[in-house]
Amino acid sequence: MKKLLIAGAALALITGCNMKTNPLLTESSAPFGAPQFDKIENEHYLPAFETAIAEAKAEIDAIIANEEEPTFENTIEAMEYAGETFGNVASIFYNLMEANTNDQMQEIAEQLSPMLTEYEMYVSLNPVLFEKVKTVYEKRNELGLAQDQMKLLEDNYKGFVRGGANLSDEDKELYSKWSEELSLTTLQFSKNVLAATNAYVLNITDEADLAGLPDFVRTMAAETAAEKGLEGWAFTLQAPSYSPFLKYSENRELRRQIWTAYNTRAIGGEFDNTEIVKKIVDLRIKIANILGYETYADYALEERMAKNKQTVTEFIMNLLEPSLPFAKKDVADVFAYAKKNGFEGKRLESWDFSYWSEKYQQAEYSLSAEELKPYFQLESCIDAVFGLATRLYGISFTELDNVPVYHEDVKVYEVKDADGSHLALFYADFFPRASKRGGAWMTEFRGQSIKDGVEKRPFISIVCNFTKPTADAPSLITHDELTTFLHEFGHALHGIFAQGRYGSLTGTNVSRDFVELPSQIMENWAFEPEYLNSFAKHYQTGEPIPADLIEKIVAAKNYLAGYAQVRQLHYGLLDMSWHTLTAVPEEGTVEFESKSLAPYAVMPAVEGTAFSGSFSHIFSGGYSAGYYSYKWAEVLEADAFSLFKEKGIFNTEVAASFRENILSKGGAQDEAVIYRNFRGHDPQPEALMQKLGLTK
């Protein structure tokens, strides 16, 4: 049974769409069969979903009606290929919901939820279908199955059991009801976060209040104000606006205002998520309990590398406890520097830390983001990131102008292998807009698979929120944004290199705590002098980045590493605090978060603020009881990259092994085995602490 990772649902506002002309259902006339974004309108979605679901149900019904003895081919493989049209429609709609949404699409999604939940339950709770799967599963050792076939069979059987197939009829009804409620509630959570983010504007009309802000920040803010019909300068909660303001603004009160706005997004007010968080947690507990698990974390972790909540909790604490002294020292050092340089407060508040840590970094390393940006023009970085893939793997990227896109900012490239064969289409969407959620992510409009001997190559996409070009300058990204680019591109390579028969087992369809390895390992190149020297040139003069700046980048790599590590572990700890509950807490969302993190705090708490209300990764994304996986994967990548460091950062033999053993394998084999096949041993946690300089 294919995993239905669907957040929400479809519409009833729109009727009368001709199926023969619906671009979501007709064979694509675009190159490579790419999605026909130039033809898709909102009116096409509901009819396409209705048709695709009916088709998928008919395919499932045919499997059920087959009177032959259940076999791998007529049951498991047939289920894998059922619902292909549905998958295509859903991948387009839900990807655009994240990257280019509008009010009507959000209405469609809310109304789609019951349809999609009903379809998922139609499959997962069908007793006849489950009996067929069970029949094949019980004979699995007699069937002579290949490794990927055995994994597909095991995943299907477990999927049915974990999806409620063994429940009584009464409990199946409850499970279906709660699943639909959860789908709608997570959708509302996401909608509120986006609305709350877009609702806030810090409008400055007195130029004196811009003190400390670099020219690029002022220019961007002036353009934002003009776009919004405001005078002066406008700052938003989008990362390219919010982060530089906190980092550079000399106006402490305005820093406090924008920090508070960001950290109370969807906490109270019109777009309040505080009760929605508790409802999501409650529904997840109920679903876990009815399936036989004590907590939602027990349910979620069963299918991940960590396997159980005890392993995750120990993992977090084994990193958190030795990192805390380093984090507290980082904060103390920044505070001491601030006091020496005019700061008169009794303590550093959260809205002070970014500003003074930037000043301290400049003093310690003579390094600032503003000084580096001219050397990282986005176009040069695109060439450099593609060039790294060419150097490591021999692949090439060619920009196409004949493939439809969903927004004018999106670029499309054909990816070819070293032998010239087609590998994938790669979509890149770099700039923020009101219709796009914050952050950065990789996704796909179509994964790789093989059916009836015909291979479909993937359509891969990365979506970011980088600094936009201004009237005076091209897009100049920060070094942090370059690192983010490399991170998401690592996910993209995981999708681009996918190999296998079954789409549910290829590409990034791996355990949540393994999926970040291909992305996080790529970040390392952002700190390698040999790589930076190959492309970082001043956008105006063409002069190469000075050697001393590269030295500073490398020297500053572990600046505030303890603080950053503890901050990331806080997110993992908060996630596990919510998802190891056996009952919804009596205290409020803000109070629960504060209680969970207080023993490990390195900055003063700010009353009334909380991250939970906008923690999309765990409340509307795929990281519930899984945020720890970023650190888990950091351990993997630190150990893995040490082989590149040993053999050479552009070593093609190591790269070929990483491609063969990690990037192309997907989820057809246990990830611990996959990792050992590449590295020759299990991951060494000490590699991460050493890499970060967090050893005594």
The DSSP code sequence of 151-175 is HHHHHHHHHHHHTTTTS-HHHHHHH
pLDDT at 471: 84
User: What is the spatial distance between Cα 564 and Cα 528, in angstroms, rounded to a whole number?
Assistant: 20
Residue 53's nearest CA partner among 92, 10, 108, 20 is 10
Q: What are the b/e assignments for 179-197, b being 16+ CB within 10 Å?
A: bbbbbbbbbbbbbbbbebb
Q: pLDDT of 217-258, one tens digit each?
A: 999 999 999 999 999 999 999 999 999 999 999 999 999 999
User: What is the spatial distance between Cα 397 and Cα 412, in angstroms, rounded to a whole number?
Assistant: 9
Q: pLDDT of 572-611, one tens digit each?
A: 999 999 999 999 999 999 999 999 999 999 999 999 999 9
Q: pLDDT of 273-312, one tens digit each?
A: 999 999 999 999 999 999 999 999 999 999 999 999 999 9
- Looking at the domain covering 373-513, what would its CATH class be? alpha beta
pLDDT at 332: 98
The pLDDT of 334-356, averaged and rounded, is 97
End-to-end CA distance of the chain: 49
Residue spans of the domains in the chain: they are 19-166, 200-262, 274-367+561-627, 373-513
pLDDT at 19: 66
Note whether 19-166 and 373-513 share their fold. no
pLDDT at 369: 82
> Could you say which of 488, 528, 634, 637 is catalytic?
488
User: What is the spatial distance between Cα 142 and Cα 136, in angstroms, rounded to a whole number?
Assistant: 10
CB within 8 A of 19, min separation 6: which ones?
25, 47, 51
pLDDT at 15: 38
Q: pLDDT of 431-469, one tens digit each?
A: 999 999 989 999 999 999 999 999 999 999 999 999 889
Q: How far is CA 607 from CA 133, 193, 200, 264, 472, in A?
A: 53, 20, 20, 10, 41
pLDDT at 16: 42
Res 90 pLDDT > 80:
yes
Which band of pLDDT confidence, cut at 50, 70 and 90, is reported for residue 14? very low
User: What is the spatial distance between Cα 368 and Cα 539, in angstroms, rounded to a whole number?
Assistant: 17
Q: pLDDT of 93-110, one tens digit each?
A: 999 999 999 999 999 999
Q: Provide the CATH number for the domain formed by 19-166 in this structure.
A: 1.10.1370.40
Res 22 pLDDT > 80:
yes
Report whether CATH 1.10.1370.10 matches the domain 274-367+561-627: yes
Residue 7's nearest CA partner among 88, 102, 84, 120 is 120
Which band of pLDDT confidence, cut at 50, 70 and 90, is reported for residue 18? low
The pLDDT of 391-396, averaged and rounded, is 98
CB within 8 A of 53, min separation 6: which ones?
86, 115, 116, 119
pLDDT at 47: 97
User: What SS3 state is found at 678?
Assistant: helix
The pLDDT of 410-430, averaged and rounded, is 98
Which band of pLDDT confidence, cut at 50, 70 and 90, is reported for residue 640? very high
pLDDT at 278: 98
- State both tokens at 619: 């409340």
User: What is the spatial distance between Cα 174 and Cα 286, in angstroms, rounded to a whole number?
Assistant: 9
User: What is the spatial distance between Cα 668 and Cα 510, in angstroms, rounded to a whole number?
Assistant: 8
Catalytic residue flag (residue 528): no
Spell out where 263-305 has E strands: none
Which band of pLDDT confidence, cut at 50, 70 and 90, is reported for residue 40? very high
Helix (H) or strand (E) holding 689: helix 686-692
Q: How far is CA 110 from the centre of its chain?
A: 22
pLDDT at 366: 87
Which band of pLDDT confidence, cut at 50, 70 and 90, is reported for residue 2? very low
- How much is the mean pLDDT over the chain? 94
Which band of pLDDT confidence, cut at 50, 70 and 90, is reported for residue 421? very high
pLDDT at 533: 96
Task: Quickly count: other Cβ atoms within 10 Å of residue 388's Cβ.
Answer: 22
Q: pLDDT of 120-130, one tens digit each?
A: 999 999 999 99
